[in-house]
Amino acid sequence: MITGSLVALITPMKLDGSIDKQKLDELIEYHISAGTHGIVAVGTTGESATLTYDEHANVIRQVVDKVKGRVPVIAGTGANSTHEAIDLTQRAKEAGADACLLVVPYYNRPTQEGMYLHFKAISEAVDIPQILYNVPGRTACDMLNETVIKLAALPNIIGIKDATGDLARGKELIESTPTDFAVYSGDDPTALGLMLLGGKGNISVTANVAPSAVAKVAELALEGDAENARDVDAGIAPLHKALFVEPNPIPVKWAAAQLGLCENSIRLPMTSLSEPYQKQVLDALIASGISQ
pLDDT, tens digit only, all 292 positions of the chain: 999 999 999 999 999 999 999 999 999 999 999 999 999 999 999 999 999 999 999 999 999 999 999 999 999 999 999 999 999 999 999 999 999 999 999 999 999 999 999 999 999 999 999 999 999 999 999 999 999 999 999 999 999 999 999 999 999 999 999 999 999 999 999 999 999 999 999 999 999 999 999 999 999 999 999 999 999 999 999 999 999 999 999 999 999 999 999 999 999 999 999 999 999 999 999 999 986 4
- Where are the chain's structural domains? 4-236
Q: What are phi and psi of 282, to 5 degrees?
A: -65, -40
Q: Please tell me the distance from the alpha carbon of residue 176 to that of residue 104, in angstroms, as a whole number.
A: 20
Q: Please tell me the distance from the alpha carbon of residue 50 to that of residue 231, in angstroms, as a whole number.
A: 37
Q: Which of 255, 264, 276, 130 is nearest to 205 (CA)?
A: 255
Does 203 carry a binding-site annotation? yes
DSSP string, 49-82: TTS-HHHHHHHHHHHHHHHTTSS-EEEE---SSH
Does 45 carry a binding-site annotation? yes
Active-site residues, by number, are 133, 161
pTM above 0.95, yes or no: yes
Q: Which of 61, 9, 53 is nearest to 34 (CA)?
A: 9
Answer whether CATH 3.40.50.280 is correct for domain 4-236.
Answer: no
